[in-house]
Amino acid sequence: MKQHLLSINDLSREEIGSVLDTARFDFLDLSKREIKKVPTLRGRTVINLFYEKSTRTSTSFELAGKRLSADVINVKADSSATGKGESLKDTVLTLGAYRPDIIVIRHPHVGAAAFVARYVVAGAHVINAGDGKGEHPTQSLLDIFSLQQEFGEDLAGLRVAIVGDILHSRVARSNIIGFQKMGMEVKLVAPPALLPRGVEALGAEARHGLDALADVDVIYLLRTQSERHERANYLPSLREYISRYQVGLRHLSGGQKVLHPGPINRGVEISAELADSGEHLILQQVEAGLAVRMAVMYRIIVDSAAAAADEAAAGDSRAGARAAEGEEAAGKAKIKNIRAVG
Ligand code: CP
């Protein structure tokens, strides 16, 4: 892994596979043990900085850090000095005084995680836990992991429809990229007003009706993010949206699986009957989130330590080669001098 995880594009397909193997083989079963803790990050400091509401992401990052034995500090904007006018930059500089190893940031503005990465103390890692309509890379990782648990590790050729408010969804943005990296075919299903302009450039087919679900293996539901609709009227009425886009058991056929990043809006994008059925993987996604975030925290530290060690070793061998070249040149000069003197 790189120094920071800001976008799912920071990982290649091979790196995604490798991080998810770490989650699968090193951390998934930890929750089933009596003592659910390992010393992996003992002595490390993790700061979870949440400027937006969260249940799944904040609890799983907190628990992941604690189960890895790190010292975990949770900062919520509504109870921090942000309310007294402190800027994000000053908050990050302030928290840098504690020499954190990892800062996990959720923020309502696109690019906030990249901004934090610019001001974070040297050596610390930044993990984007959702930046406005931007990205949510660990959600994409846990969704890929959940699909692998259900369909096997090779997801190439799996067909998925992402349904709902794609325009305002960082989860959709990360998953369109992440699913395609894994070789999956992605279809987007939404009213035209809730699809981003130029959506075809994302490499995904755009459709406007639930008839598009007939030939997919996976239905990935999204809630309508009314808190991001600002003053624009994206939907003629919620009732009409429900009648045209709510997915229920009657829409499922042939072993199709339903995923949802949560929070679900029961009775809006998902029927209560489907929410209460065993046809979805929503709780498996939450369980996967813990193991995957443990793997991300562990790998982001050890991979960059290994890269730094490799760089130092390469530096040593370059220095060694330069020294050897220097000795050889000095030797030649000496011989030359001896000959000149002779
Ligand atoms: N999926 C997700 O990001 O949920 P939270 O907003 O509860 O963290």
Greater model confidence, 139 or 341 = 139
Supply the pLDDT for residue 104: 98
Model confidence over 84-136: pLDDT tens digits? 889 999 999 999 999 999 999 999 999 999 999 999 999 999 999 999 999 99
Please report the pLDDT score of residue 325 as a whole number: 67
pLDDT for residue 339: 42
For residue 338, what pLDDT is reported?
39
CA of 60 to the centre of ligand 1 (A): 10
Residue type, 28: L
Closest atom, ligand 1, to C-alpha of 130? 3
Rounded distance, CA 152 to CA 59, Å? 27
Judged against a pLDDT cut of 80, whether residue 233 lies above it is answered with no
The rounded distance, in Å, linking the Cα atoms of 144 and 122 is 31
Q: For the chain, percent helix, then strand, then coil, each to nearest 5?
A: 50, 15, 35
Q: Is 262 in the pocket of ligand 1 (CB under 6 A)?
A: yes
- Which residues lie across from 50 on neighbouring strands? 76, 106
* % of the chain at pLDDT higher than 70: 92
What band does 336 get if pLDDT is binned at 50, 70 and 90?
Answer: very low
pLDDT grade for 311, boundaries at 50, 70 and 90: confident
Average pLDDT over residues 68-77: 96
- Short-list 182, 187, 178, CA closest to 159: 187
Distance CA(72)–CA(108), nearest Å, equals: 22
Is the C-beta atom of 54 inside 6 A of ligand 1?
yes
The closest of 264, 319, 305 to 124, measured between CA atoms, is 305
pLDDT band at 220 (very low <50, low <70, confident <90, very high): very high
Identical fold between 8-137+288-305 and 139-281: yes
pLDDT tens track for 44-66: 999 999 999 999 999 999 999 99
Q: How many CB atoms lie within 10 A of CB 273?
A: 13
pLDDT at 328: 61
The structure tokens 């009425």 sit at: 237
In the reported structure, the alpha carbon of residue 9 is separated from the centroid of ligand 1 by a whole-number distance in angstroms of 20
163 CA to middle of ligand 1, Å? 17
| CATH code, residues 8-137+288-305 | 3.40.50.1370
* DSSP labels, 70-108: -EEEEEEGGGSGGGGT--HHHHHHHHHTT--SEEEEEES
Question: CATH: 3.40.50.1820, 3.40.50.150, 3.40.50.1370, 3.40.50.300. Which one for 139-281?
Answer: 3.40.50.1370
Q: Is the CB of 57 under 6 A from ligand 1?
A: yes
Residue whose CA is at the smallest distance from ligand 1 atom 3: 57
The Cα angle at residue 133 between residues 16 and 115, in degrees rounded to 5:
75
**For the chain, what is the mean pLDDT?**
92
**Ligand 1 site, residue 139, Cβ cutoff 6 A:** yes
Q: What pLDDT score does 247 carry? A: 98
Q: What element of type H or E holds 183?
A: none
pLDDT recorded at residue 341: 35
CA angle 34, 37, 42 (to 5 degrees): 160
**In this model, does residue 331 exceed pLDDT 60?**
no
* Cα 59 to middle of ligand 1, angstroms: 9
The continuous run of DSSP H or E covering 273 comes out as helix 272-275
Sign of CA dihedral 317, 101, 182, 228: negative
Identify which of 54, 131, 284 to mutate to test ligand 1's pocket (most ligand atoms within 8 A of the CB).
Answer: 54
Task: Please report, as a single letter, which amino acid is at residue 147.
Answer: L
CA of 54 to the centre of ligand 1 (A): 5
Q: Which residue minimizes the CA distance to atom 1 of ligand 1?
A: 261
Of all protein residues, the one whose alpha carbon is nearest to atom 5 of ligand 1 is: 54
Query: Residue 333 pLDDT > 60, yes or no?
Result: no
Task: Name the residue ranges covered by the structural domains of the chain.
Answer: 8-137+288-305, 139-281
The neighbouring-strand residues paired with 280 are: 258
pLDDT tens for residues 274-294? 999 999 999 999 999 999 999
Look at residue 200 in the predicted model and tell me its pLDDT: 83
Pocket test for ligand 1, best of 53, 57, 143 (most atoms within 8 A of CB): 57
Choice from 8, 52, 55, 227 to test ligand 1 binding pocket (greatest atom count within 8 A of CB): 55
- What is the per-residue pLDDT for 72? 98
From residue 269, alpha-carbon distances to 19, 32, 139, 232, 239 in Å are: 31, 32, 19, 20, 11
Q: Bigger pLDDT: 308 or 272?
A: 272
Atom 4 (ligand 1) nearest CA: 56
With a cut of 80, say whether residue 199 has pLDDT above it: yes
d(CA 44, CA 112): 23
Q: Does the pLDDT of residue 337 top 80, yes or no?
A: no
Closest residue by Cα to atom 6, ligand 1, is 54
